[in-house]
Amino acid sequence: MTVRFEWRTSLCAADFPAAAYEALRLQVMDHTPFNTLAWMSASEHALRAGERLHVLLGWQGHQLVLCLPLVASVERFGGLPFRVLHHLGYPLADRLALLASLDAEDMGKALTQIRRRLPHALLQLNEFCEPPGAASALSEWMGHSSTAERRLSCRVPVHLISDADHQEVSGDPRYKLRRARKRIAACGAQVRRITPDATTMGPLLKVIGEVEAVSWKGDEGVGIFADERHRQWMDRAFTALAAQGLVRVVVLELELDERCISYRLGLLEQGRLYDYNLAFLPQHADLGSGRVLLEEWIRWGLDDHWHWIDASRVSLENSSHQLHERMTGQLEHWRWSFYSWRPSGLALGLAQRVWYRIKPILQQWRARRATASSAPAPAATPVPVSGPKPPAATDKHLEGKHATPSHSQR
């Protein structure tokens, strides 16, 4: 059946086909809470000045088979402005699925629609996760781009909840967990589980936002409540998600005044808990509360029959997420970049290819320079003030004394 394409400029309009959207979302196997209309609508309200939303819908008869909300903006690369498209929700949507049920030919037609409606240099889709062994529908777009890239964003640790979790974890994590529990008991704190609704979500976000504000995330301005725009975004999103029963929070509170000193905020759907955000008060950094609250996620999952605990996103390198200690598998997130055939797309794609060739050479040069600067300087040979000159040193004399050590490349 022929696909009919349609453009919308808002997901929040009264006539947006919300029921058809939800049917498509549930049809896609790897959908996440960040694909919900609640999250997308909150993301739309959080758009900055100069950002414009364009929603591409694809219909087969009365069935919605494609929904791709794209945000058009201007970004600078090397000081030059380029028109760029991102999926709505970037960069705070931790994991997304492509809401599409199209064959390769119709996916190619969708890209043509995007380029006609939204001339751009770069179309970039971040944090996309495909089912293992499944071919991505986005692969069709690579052959239609001047330059295309599928790049790994991160490998997310996941934990499959099983009967083994009824037993205490073994090895080093067990001793770390025991020490953390002792410290927490000594300071008079307790763990509490919270399933907020639309009424209680707002006050709870205010409490945990205050914790994040004085944590290292607040100091560095990298938290989800970093500024007023982000606070309003999170308030809208989580209030709407809490109304659907998708939000879970575990907090560590002081028993005397019920003051929150640490928390983990998560989203639950299809028996999978996405560990989205955590923070703790700096004066209680030595408690090890994060590890205890992660253990509480697993205990809660056992009680309520969840299947998975996920770190919804981690750093690609040197990730410090505590779920690495408990993981039973990993999921990969990918960043897709499609450069157009417009002059700006050709130029930006060429610059990208050149940069990836130069980058390893530049990294090696910086590594050699750093190693050379950290090497000890050769000791100076003392020169007598008077008397006969010492004999000239030979290579044999210098060997093992003042010879400069060789430097290996990284």
Query: Is residue 37, in this structure, part of any structural domain at all?
Result: yes
Phi, psi of 331 (to 5 degrees): -120, 145
Do 196 and 298 fall into the same domain? yes
Do 146 and 191 fall into the same domain? no
Q: How many domains does the chain have?
A: 2
Read off the CATH number of the domain in which 267 is found: 3.40.630.30
| Residues 292-342 pLDDT 10s | 999 999 999 999 999 999 999 999 888 889 999 999 999 999 999 999 999
> pLDDT exceeding 70 applies to what percent of the chain?
90
Is the Cα torsion angle 158, 138, 316, 311 positive or negative in sign? negative
pLDDT given at position 257: 84
- With beta carbons less than 8 A apart as the criterion, state whether 123 and 69 touch: no
Do 145 and 253 fall into the same domain? no
Closest CA to 34 of 337, 267, 264, 223: 267
Do 259 and 173 fall into the same domain? yes
Q: Which of 344, 359, 374 is the last residue of a domain?
A: 359
pLDDT given at position 409: 28
Do 104 and 81 fall into the same domain? yes
- With beta carbons less than 8 A apart as the criterion, state whether 32 and 237 touch: no
pLDDT given at position 392: 40
Query: Is residue 319, in this structure, part of any structural domain at all?
Result: no
Query: Is residue 398, in this structure, part of any structural domain at all?
Result: no
Give whole-number Cα distances, 46 to 39, 73, 233, 267, in Å.
Answer: 11, 14, 6, 20
Chain-wide mean pLDDT for the chain?
90
Q: Which domain holds residue 201?
A: 162-306
| Residues 383-406 pLDDT 10s | 444 444 444 433 332 233 223 333
Q: Is the pLDDT of residue 143 over 70?
A: yes
Do 139 and 191 fall into the same domain? no
Q: Is the pLDDT of residue 379 over 70?
A: no
| Residues 98-142 pLDDT 10s | 999 999 999 999 999 999 999 999 999 999 997 666 678 899 999
pLDDT given at position 398: 27
pLDDT given at position 136: 84
Do 92 and 126 fall into the same domain? yes
pTM: 0.86
Read off the CATH number of the domain in which 144 is found: 3.40.630
Do 263 and 121 fall into the same domain? no
Do 38 and 119 fall into the same domain? yes
Burial 297-331 (b: 16+ CB within 10 A, else e): bbbbbeeeebebbbbbbbeeeeeebbbebbbeeeb
| Residues 231-251 pLDDT 10s | 999 999 999 999 999 999 999
Residue 220: Cβ-neighbour burial (10 angstroms; 0-12, 13-18, 19+): exposed
Do 138 and 255 fall into the same domain? no
3-state DSSP assignment of residue 237: helix
Do 205 and 256 fall into the same domain? yes
3-state DSSP assignment of residue 289: helix
| Residues 14-56 pLDDT 10s | 999 999 999 999 999 999 999 999 999 999 999 999 999 999 9
- With beta carbons less than 8 A apart as the criterion, state whether 279 and 315 touch: no
